[in-house]
């Protein structure tokens, strides 16, 4: 599987977000503050960026997370165009 696309954030003083892709297990651990097992993550806060990630084969649940938790008072708007492509075996 391939996850590919582009995202952009606006709002607040920095127009910034953190973007992550996690497995279901990594997401649960992150929500409970037990580390960050991201399969992919931006290097800190960003305004715009691209995702080009190959995901492991097999059925699974993945989370694409746009995080603004560091900005307690400023809401953000995120535009994204992301595609998940399944590669068939023939």
- Note the pLDDT tens digit of each residue in 40-61: 999 999 999 999 999 988 778 9
Q: Which residues pair with 41 in a beta bridge?
A: 20
35 in a structural domain: yes
pTM: 0.86
Total domains in the fold of the chain: 1
In a domain, 90, yes or no: no
What confidence score (pLDDT) does residue 90 get? Answer: 61
Task: Please state, in angstroms and rounded to a whole number, the distance separating the CA atoms of residues 40 and 23.
Answer: 10
Question: Would residue 29 count as lying in a domain?
Answer: yes
Question: Is 62 part of a structural domain of the chain?
Answer: yes
- Among candidates 28, 13, 34, which has minimal Cα distance to 65? 28
Is position 30 within any domain?
yes
Residue 28 lies in a domain: yes
Angle, CA 56 vertex, CA 51 and CA 57 arms, to 5°:
125
39 inside domain? yes
């Amino acid at each position: 599987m391939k996850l590919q696309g582009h995202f952009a954030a606006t709002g607040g003083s920095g127009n910034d977000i953190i973007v992550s892709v996690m497995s279901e297990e990594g997401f649960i651990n992150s929500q409970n503050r037990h580390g960050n097992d991201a399969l992919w993550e931006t290097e800190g806060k960003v305004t715009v960026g691209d995702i080009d990630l190959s995901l492991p084969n097999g059925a699974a649940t993945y989370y694409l997370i746009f995080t603004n938790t560091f900005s307690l008072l400023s809401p953000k708007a995120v535009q994204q165009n992301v595609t998940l492509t399944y590669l068939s075996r023939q």
